[in-house]
């Protein structure tokens, strides 16, 4: 009986010693781990900021690429104060880029590729519609001249948009379909032309033309 009591006492003492040992030196380590845990979110925040910086770098790269594309179409070495460097429209090869209709109005996008030397261009072109060798009508300016001047490298492109209003029910309109469009410079030299079927009012304006602008 006595031996049993000694055994129980020794067992209880051993458990007490183990409990004290577990509470003292190892008890400080969880506190140390809790202190370092805020550092983990901090690292996560910096890593989450990295995609933002990467996105900004990507945007900068896109902007640089766009600027490079623009520079490829332009000719910064052209002196825009030199009238001799103005584009000769006979060097601009025309093409119909697109034709769209909406609400009775037809929109024709014309593009011009510079097959001559680098030059500069501004303002509006003169556009004349003809059929069978006879002039049908001329286009009018769409708005005011924005005053923009564009330089075009060889192989670069500019363009204009023709807006043809519906001729149906227009007082005084004698409609006819054009066969040819002549494009001339208002202030420069040369002319170019292309085949285009477009219904216009004869002897009165029904088509407007936008100013020249760069095209890709």
Q: What is the pLDDT of residue 74?
A: 67
Q: How far apart are CA 162 and CA 164, in angstroms?
A: 6
Instruction: Tell me how far apart the alpha carbons of residues 156 and 213 are, in angstroms, rounded to a whole number.
Output: 12
Q: Can you tell me the distance from the alpha carbon of 119 to that of 77, in angstroms, rounded to the nearest whole number?
A: 9
pLDDT for the residue numbered 188: 80
Residues 117 and 148 in one domain: yes
**Does residue 49 sit in the same domain as residue 150?**
no
205 and 126 in a common domain = yes
Closest of 143, 127, 97, 149 to residue 200, by C-alpha: 127
Instruction: Provide the 3-class DSSP secondary structure of residue 115.
Output: coil
Which residues lie closer than 8 Å to 117 by C-beta, 6 or more apart?
91, 154
| Residues 87 and 47 placed together within one structural domain of the fold | no
- Residue 130 belongs to a domain: yes
Same domain, 115 and 58: no
Q: Tell me: the pLDDT tens digits for 62-100? A: 443 333 334 445 677 899 999 999 999 999 999 999 999
Q: Which of 17-31, 156-170, 198-212 has the lowest mean pLDDT?
A: 17-31
97 and 182 both lie in a single domain: yes
CA 26 to chain centre: 63
Domain count, the chain: 2
Residue-range definition of the domain harbouring residue 167: 83-215
SS3 16: helix
How do strand 207-209 and strand 140-141 relate by DSSP bridges? parallel
Cβ atoms of 198 and 161 closer than 8 Å: no
Given this model, what pLDDT does residue 167 score? 95
End position of a domain, from candidates 14, 46, 73: 73
- Give the model's pLDDT for residue 216: 87
- Residue 78 in domain: no
Give me the CATH number covering residue 157. Answer: 2.60.40
Q: Are residues 103 and 166 in the same domain?
A: yes
Residue 174 lies in a domain: yes
Asked if residue 208 has pLDDT above 60, the reply is: yes
Mean pLDDT of 154-181: 96
Are residues 91 and 122 part of one domain? yes
Residues 177 and 111 grouped into a single domain: yes
Helix, strand, coil percent content, the chain, rounded in steps of 5: 35, 35, 30
Final residue in a domain of this structure, among 54, 73, 92: 73
Q: Domain end: 73, 91, 125, which one?
A: 73
Show Cβ contacts of residue 103 under 8 Å, excluding neighbours closer than 6 positions.
Answer: none
If asked whether residues 68 and 135 sit together in one domain, one would say no
Return the residue matching tokens 């002039």.
135
CA pseudo-torsion sign 35, 41, 44, 48: negative
Residues 88 and 69 in one domain: no
Q: Are residues 180 and 138 in the same domain?
A: yes
User: Phi first, then psi: what are they for 46, rounded to 5°?
Assistant: -65, -35
Using CA of residue 186, residue 192, residue 197, residue 203, what is the dihedral sign?
Answer: positive
């Amino acid at each position: 009986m006595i031996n049993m009591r000694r055994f129980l006492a020794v067992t209880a003492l051993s458990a007490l010693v183990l409990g004290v040992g577990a509470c003292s030196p190892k008890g400080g380590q969880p506190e140390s781990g809790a202190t370092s845990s805020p550092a983990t979110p901090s690292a996560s925040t910096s890593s989450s900021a990295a995609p933002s910086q990467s996105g900004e770098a990507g945007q900068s790269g896109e902007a640089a690429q766009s600027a490079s594309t623009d520079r490829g179409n332009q000719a910064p070495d052209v002196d825009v104060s030199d009238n001799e460097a103005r584009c000769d429209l006979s060097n601009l090869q025309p093409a119909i880029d697109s034709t769209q209709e909406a609400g009775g109005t037809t929109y024709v996008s014309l593009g011009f590729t510079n097959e001559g030397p680098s030059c500069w261009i501004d303002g509006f072109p003169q556009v004349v519609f003809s059929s069978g060798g006879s002039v049908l009508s001329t286009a009018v300016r769409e708005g005011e001249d924005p005053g923009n001047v564009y330089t075009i490298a060889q192989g670069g492109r500019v363009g204009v948009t023709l807006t043809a209003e519906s001729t149906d029910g227009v007082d005084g309109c004698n409609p006819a379909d054009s066969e040819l469009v002549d494009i001339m410079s208002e202030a420069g030299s040369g002319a170019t032309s292309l085949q285009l079927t477009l219904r216009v009012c004869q002897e009165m304006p029904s088509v407007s033309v936008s100013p020249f602008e760069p095209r890709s």
